[in-house]
A and B are shown apart, each in its own frame.
Chain A
Amino acid sequence: MGSLALDRSKVGGGGVIHHDVIVVGGGLAGLRAAVEAKMAGIDVAVLSQVHPARSHSGAAQGGINAALGNHPDGSHDTWEMHGFDTTKGGDYLGDQDAIMQMAQDAIQVIFEMDHWGCPFSRFDDGRIAQRPFGGAGFPRCCYGADKTGHYLLHTLVEQAYKHGVKFYVEQYVTKLIVDEGACRGVVAYDMVHGGFEAFTADAVIIATGGYGRIYSNSTNAIINTGSGMAMAYRAGVPLKDMEFVQFHPTGLRSTNILMSEGARGEGAYLLNGAGERFMERYAPKFMELAPRDITARSIQTEINEGRGVNGEPYVLLDLRHLGAERILERLPGIRDLAIHFEGVDPIEAPVPIVPSQHYSMGGIDTDVNGSTVMPGLYAAGECACVSVHGANRLGGNSLLETIVFGRRAGAEVVRQLPQLLRNRPDDRTAYAAVVEIENAMKTLAERDGGERQHEVRAELTTLMKEHFGLFRDEPTMQTGLERLTAIQERVGRVGIRWTGDVFNLDMIRTYELAGMVDVALAVATGALARQESRGAHFRTDFNTRDDANWLRHTLAFHQPGAAGPRLDWKPVTLGFFELQERKY
């Protein structure tokens, strides 16, 4: 087991790697935070499991919302209306002060991304193009064809190189270094060179994205396992509103790969087996552009009531009437995906789709500046919950969240750094953390409990889909929670079968599995507790929103050794918009 051992040349004896700020995760939120801090002259490093240009932000397609008013039908749009749509879209669970902040910042950050070279599509007058998106009163979704995430991500990677942000690529961060209640760095597995390293910092920003892969039917990248959430959670930071899980209406039938909401933004239809545009029964005004929770449930209802295609559990996304020219100009990416992964060319035939787990509204509890309850620890992007998305995120708001709150977290760290410097950790703390993780890995390597990582993972992800999906009720969730508890025990019997030091996938995937179960338990416990239907959390046994009892955030606190979290609650910040029934 010597091969997994600590590289003594790098760690200990004063050899601990130190940066003023460590960002964990190289997607949009992490890069934007890093660039902000670096521009202020701070020594900042990004640790990422993959090269930042490979981050899952790059898979985002449809666009990013900002009330630029560039669209002919959107010239009266305002950031206040963006705030309203976001609040209503989130079924009033979002904190309205945070939402307004995001909607206001949006305009500035979009122009900034343009000034940094992001290749947004353009209107004829040379201004940034915008398209209609779900739940939005005006066409305010800025886009670059249907590859907006890819373009934004590459632009920020470029800016990070420009400003000299230090990248530690293929570092799998396993643990926060916490001393006297403050976050003082991280421990990471160096995938390429082998061994664990300690990185100390005066501030750590977690920007590791979502946990989609705890569901078997996710649109997410394989690396989206919620590892950053699990790290913060285990360190005592609460996860907020974890029961709110977004299912995207249109994932490819066979792979759950995303078909952008931009398709419907451009006018694509949803058709059931009988060829009906069934959305007129569910959202007569907004039709296919109702918010995602409503659209996804409508699709599932059609399927459940036997109106899928040939009785099979899928419906169709029909783009044919848009014509080849428009598809090739505005939606070339999803056309390629449909051809490669579903064998269907959307120019010629409708695309089989199913609702698919897509996004986590919940996450690490932060304020509008990314601060958590733990000094020195910040979070931004999908792994964080500010909360701006409330109970259901609108399309085009996730890319926006990453950049707005990445930037704000970076700026906040710069502001707080003089104070945090006084708490600079000594290397012994870091050294002890490395020894601790080494010992944990040794335990995993010596363990032979007869359980296989991938088998337990498959059962976990299927269970989450079946018991904590689009429609929920108490008996189903109760059974699910019991199964989850059993899985938690099984995870304790999964061992590492190969102990080589370079690119050890067996170790990474075994280690991350335990974190996935922790996150899943937070989702499940929150869902079972919340006895109402709000946004993406829909209960057939409590099928209406209950503002009197449930207009509040859920906080899940990790309980070491226990089957699930301890729950607490926190009020929602209102003050801008009156509570209304949500109709589209």
Chain B
Amino acid sequence: MKQVTLRIKRQDPRSKTNTEPRWDEFTVPFEGDNLTVLEALFYVQENQDPSLCFRYCCRAAVCGSCAMYINGAYRLACQTNIKHLEGDLVTVAPMPHVPLVRDLVCEMDDFFAKYEYIKPWLIRNSPDPEREIIQSPKERHKLDMPIDCILCGCCYSSCPSVWGEDNYLGPAALLKAHRFEVDSRDEARKERLSLWSNERGVYRCHTIMNCGEACPKELNPTEGIQWLKKAAVRRRLFGKAK
């Protein structure tokens, strides 16, 4: 039987007695060589501290629930196998720079409000055809990167521009804006420009590129934001909506 020590950041901002953060250590035994951080958290919650809380759902890295800060890096707890982490001590903290609900659960309201702000839905003016809207494989491939976003919030938490400016939409929302800009079926180029080419939008990105490093799906929001910046310049200078 092997074991690993988890050092978990605990905090209850709404506690009536103690709102200060603390670090609790737990020892988790396991057999074989597969133990994910999520499994370890369940072990702790079930066997050692029933008050521990964290988000979970798919346990297969597609739902984006369990984004955390593990050993100093953004990771999905379900996708993180202990054996791939160095040392015998695993530190687990909530995503930094995001308001906290409790323990490892972050408050995502602002994150989703910013997502909603960029109108993350297809906008069309022409009547829908009887069948599908024709889209070539080449046009479709332009969507490959942004549509794989699982809205976990890692990029948002990692972005210094977000830390410094509450109003900044952040990498996830802007990647979503990019997703609709590059969709050949969308017909709202003019309307969309004002949603992200503004004081909340792309110009607050200083290409620090933490987002790409933080993304557990290995996407690159900076690339999408840079595309938007170029598109904004083209449109403002030449009036082209492409």
Chain A positions within 8 Å of B, measured between CB atoms, are 50-51, 53-56, 58-59, 68, 110-111, 114-117, 119-128, 144, 147, 150-151, 154, 158-159, 161-162, 192, 221-223, 254-255, 257-258, 333, 336-337, 340-341, 452-454, 496-498, 500, 502-506
Contacts and interface: CB of A to CB of B under 8 A. Distances in A.
Nearest to A53: B151
B125 interface: no
7 contacts: A50-B65, A53-B63, A111-B131, A122-B137, A340-B79, A503-B102, A505-B45
Contacts of B128: 111, 115
B121 to A, nearest CB: 4
B50 interface: yes
B183 A54 contact: no
Contacts of A111: 128-132
Contact of A221 (B34, B47, B59, B186): B59
Contact of B60 (A53, A114, A257): A257
B134 to A, nearest CB: 4
Given A503-B53, A504-B53, A221 B135 contact: no
Nearest to B147: A119
A154 B147 contact: yes
A122 B12 contact: no
Contact of B137 (A123, A150, A506): A123
B171 interface: no
Please classify how large the interface on chain B is, using the bins under 10, 10 to 19, 20 to 34, 35 or more. Answer: 35 or more
A258 B59 CA distance: 11
A157 to B, nearest CB: 8
Contacts of A505: 45, 50, 52-54
B121 A158 contact: yes
Interface of B: 12, 14, 34, 42, 45-47, 50-65, 79, 81, 101-103, 105, 107-108, 112, 115-116, 119-122, 124, 128-137, 139-140, 143, 147-148, 150-151, 180, 183, 185-186
A454 B46 contact: yes
A117 B14 contact: no
Given A54-B64, A122-B136, A221-B57, A502 B148 contact: no
Contacts of B143: 119
A151 B57 CA distance: 18
B94 to A, nearest CB: 12
A305 B119 CA distance: 56
A122 B140 contact: yes
Given A150-B62, A161-B120, A497-B50, A56 B57 contact: yes
B63 A50 contact: yes
Nearest to B55: A50
Interface SS of chain B: loop
A127 B134 contact: yes
Contacts of B139: 122, 126
Contact of B121 (A126, A159, A254): A159
Contacts of B186: 117
B119 to A, nearest CB: 8
A59 B62 contact: yes
A77 to B, nearest CB: 14
Quick one: which of A453, A502, A504 has the most chain B CB within 10 A?
Answer: A502
Given A50-B57, A122-B136, A503-B53, A58 B62 contact: yes
Contacts of A144: 147
Given A50-B63, A115-B124, A221 B58 contact: yes
Given A119-B140, A192-B101, A150 B150 contact: yes
A265 B75 CA distance: 32
Nearest to B128: A115
Nearest to A258: B60
B53 A55 contact: no
Given A56-B57, A115-B133, A161 B50 contact: no
Contacts of B54: 505
Given A119-B140, A453-B46, 19 more contacts: A68-B132, A110-B132, A111-B132, A114-B133, A115-B124, A119-B183, A122-B140, A124-B137, A127-B131, A127-B134, A161-B121, A221-B57, A222-B58, A333-B62, A337-B61, A498-B50, A500-B51, A502-B12, A503-B101
A126 B51 contact: no
A491 to B, nearest CB: 15
When A and B form their complex, which 3 residue pairs have the shortest distance between CB atoms, in order from nearest?
A117-B122, A126-B134, A503-B53
A122 to B, nearest CB: 5
Contact of B51 (A161, A221, A223, A498): A498
Contacts of B134: 125-127
A151 B183 CA distance: 14
Given A158-B120, A159-B121, A497-B50, A54 B57 contact: yes
Contact of A340 (B46, B61, B107): B61
Given A154-B147, A257-B60, A54 B65 contact: yes
B62 A254 contact: no
A179 to B, nearest CB: 33
A293 to B, nearest CB: 23
A497 B51 CA distance: 8
A74 to B, nearest CB: 15
Contacts of A110: 132
B102 to A, nearest CB: 5
Contacts of A114: 132-133, 185
Quick one: which of B14, B64, B132, B133 has the most chain A CB within 10 A?
Answer: B132
Contacts of A506: 45, 50-51
Nearest to A252: B60
A423 B7 CA distance: 54
A20 to B, nearest CB: 22
A144 B116 CA distance: 24
Contact of A341 (B42, B60, B136): B60
